[in-house]
Amino acid sequence: MEQPQTQKVFRLGSRNGFDAIQLFDEPVPSAIGAREVLVRVRAVALNYRDYAIVTSRYPFPVKDK
């Protein structure tokens, strides 16, 4: 199976609700270590914790990347 060159990445620009979630195209990591694997993800979902972080209601500290 051929490895794709780009991947779709969702990033949270700010914690002002779901409108702050942005879609980006980024290169697929090419440097994979000897004890690493690259996994293809076909579906994702948000859970309540994700909702709480996006709406600034999560009661614990969250690191921004």
One digit per residue, the tens of pLDDT, for the chain of length 65 reads 677 899 999 888 888 888 888 999 999 988 889 999 988 888 988 899 988 988 889 999 988 76
pLDDT at 65: 67
In this structure, the dihedral spanned by the alpha carbons of residues 29, 44, 9 and 24, taken in order and rounded to 10 degrees, is 150
pLDDT at 1: 67
pLDDT at 47: 92
pLDDT at 32: 86
